[in-house]
């Protein structure tokens, strides 16, 4: 794959996550302008974006396989850019909710389309997923720092306009550098490296979907709530919005490196053992973050987000390992529709939960979610089961056992 195209696909991942978190980062300022006394009361208006981020994945994945991934990525770049400009034009909460929902619809395209497009010729898929995850999480970091400075210097509307224009420019570049597809992925002959029997494949799909749903709930609750968590727990230590945004960007920048490390480990270690360990280590750090204040909270938050981000590459790695490239976008779309549809509840629940019970209760609940993820991952077929399936198919067994 041309380096320019790889760069654009990774940049698209960064933009996708950036757009989804602009609202969460600037919600306090928007709430004041729209006449809300508390940011928690405006937060539920952003749930439509995350609902469509999940529901839109199914048709996006289907179109990616059957119509073409290049075409769908062009729809992504131009669509999400224009939708972001529309958000900047809104004048009340319901207009904002509608524009954010439209933006979420276009944001649904990237994961089931862009990642399979990036991986379709990858020699080391784990490392490729890790670098792509790093790009996506740097987008989260950019949402924290760029939005913070734009809100402080120009206003919250600029925080949507500037990325919108960048996305449209990237769409023009993608149009030039992305070669036209001779046929859609569904018409290709390439198959997955390992074909599993239907019952085992169904078990893998069930585990990846359930783990992605619980992990996504944890991801959405933290990334959408971290800005306000820092503002509350750092009060009296750091209170300037731009500085808080920079501190949060630092959390995400450090945490993003975890995906690079995990991506490389996926190519070398048993997947189940690695995934189980990362999910389990989230529990004590979330319990610590529930009680910490000031710089201790900041240190605990870095640990939490390193592990939350480190868990992200596993579902894409499972899809690459077990699913034909001809249908990866559709499988990813089905998985995302279920998992993100469930985890999008985090955005709707975040404001009311914090308002009623506080961040301490929220973090304790998230520790329970992390424990649930660990239990789900324990059901994933280990290398021994996969080796038996591979042996039955006439292939060589992988190294190691799990």
Residues 32-46: tens digit of each pLDDT: 888 888 888 888 888
Helices (H), 108-197: 110-119, 125-153, 156-177
pLDDT in the model for residue 398: 42
Within 8 A by CB and 6+ apart from 248, the residues are 141, 144, 145, 226, 227, 230
Comparing C-alpha atoms, which of 358, 353, 264, 361 is closest to residue 317?
Answer: 264
Rounded to 5°, the CA angle 255-110-63 comes to 155
| Predicted local distance difference test score (pLDDT) of residue 190 | 57
Q: Is the dihedral of CA 334, 134, 264, 215 positive or negative?
A: negative
Condensed to tens digits (0 to 9), the pLDDT of residues 92-144 reads: 999 999 999 999 999 999 999 999 898 887 778 888 888 888 888 788 778 87
CATH of domain 3-392: 1.20.1250.20
User: Measured between alpha carbons, how far is 9 from 134 in angstroms, rounded to an integer?
Assistant: 12
Which 8-state DSSP code applies to residue 196? Answer: P
DSSP secondary structure letter of residue 179: P
Provide the pLDDT for residue 402: 45
Round to whole Å and give the CA distance between 385 and 167.
44
DSSP 312: T
Cα separations in angstroms, 201 against 32, 161, 191, 204: 50, 43, 15, 5
How far is 227 from 244, CA to CA, in rounded Å?
Answer: 8
- Residues in the chain where the model's pLDDT stays below 70: 187-196, 341, 344, 346-347, 383, 385-402
Angle at 339 between CA 351 and CA 59, to 5 degrees: 110
On whether the CB atoms of residues 150 and 158 are closer than 8 A, the answer is: yes
Separation in Å, CA 373 to CA 96, 216, 277: 33, 10, 11
Name every residue whose Cβ is closer than 8 Å to that of residue 290 and which is 6 or more positions away in sequence: 359, 360, 361, 363, 364, 367
Helix then strand then coil, in percent of the chain rounded to 5, is 80, 0, 20
Tell me the C-alpha to C-alpha distance, in Å, between residue 104 and each of 31, 35, 85, 127.
20, 24, 13, 28
Rounded CA separation 148/144 (Å): 6
């Amino acid at each position: 794959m041309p380096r320019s195209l790889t760069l654009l696909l990774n940049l698209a991942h960064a933009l996708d996550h950036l757009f989804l978190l602009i609202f969460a980062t600037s919600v306090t300022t928007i709430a004041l302008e729209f006449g809300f006394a508390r940011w928690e009361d405006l937060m539920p208006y952003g749930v439509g974006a995350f609902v469509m981020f999940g529901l839109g994945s199914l048709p996006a994945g289907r179109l990616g396989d059957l119509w073409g991934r290049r075409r769908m990525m062009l729809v992504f770049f131009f669509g999400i850019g224009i939708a972001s400009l529309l958000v900047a034009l809104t004048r009340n909460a319901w207009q904002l909710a509608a524009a954010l929902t439209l933006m979420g619809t276009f944001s649904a395209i990237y994961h089931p389309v862009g990642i399979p497009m990036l991986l379709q010729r990858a020699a080391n898929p784990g490392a490729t997923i890790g670098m792509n995850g790093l790009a996506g999480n740097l987008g989260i970091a950019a949402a924290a720092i760029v939005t913070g400075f734009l809100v402080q210097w120009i206003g919250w509307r600029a925080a949507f306009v500037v990325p919108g224009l960048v996305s449209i420019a990237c769409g023009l570049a993608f149009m030039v550098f992305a070669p036209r597809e001779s046929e859609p992925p569904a018409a290709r002959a390439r198959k997955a490296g390992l074909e599993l029997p239907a019952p085992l494949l169904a078990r893998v799909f069930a585990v990846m979907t359930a783990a992605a749903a619980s992990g996504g709930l944890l991801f959405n609750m933290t990334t959408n709530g971290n800005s306000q968590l820092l503002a509350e727990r750092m009060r009296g230590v750091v209170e300037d919005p731009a500085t808080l945004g920079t501190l949060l960007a630092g959390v995400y920048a450090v945490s993003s490196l975890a995906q690079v490390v995990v991506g490389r480990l996926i190519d070398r270690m048993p997947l189940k053992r690695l995934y189980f360990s990362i999910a389990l280590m989230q529990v004590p750090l979330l319990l610590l973050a529930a009680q910490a204040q000031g710089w201790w909270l900041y240190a605990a938050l870095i640990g939490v987000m390193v592990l939350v981000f480190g868990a992200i590459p596993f579902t894409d790695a499972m899809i690459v390992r077990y699913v034909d490239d001809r249908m990866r976008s559709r499988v990813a779309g089905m998985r995302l529709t279920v998992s993100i549809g469930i985890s999008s509840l985090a955005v709707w629940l975040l404001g009311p939960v914090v308002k009623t019970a506080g961040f301490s209760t929220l973090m304790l609940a998230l520790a329970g979610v992390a424990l649930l993820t660990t239990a789900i991952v324990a059901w994933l077929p280990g290398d021994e089961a996969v080796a038996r399936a591979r042996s039955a198919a006439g292939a060589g067994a992988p190294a190691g056992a799990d």
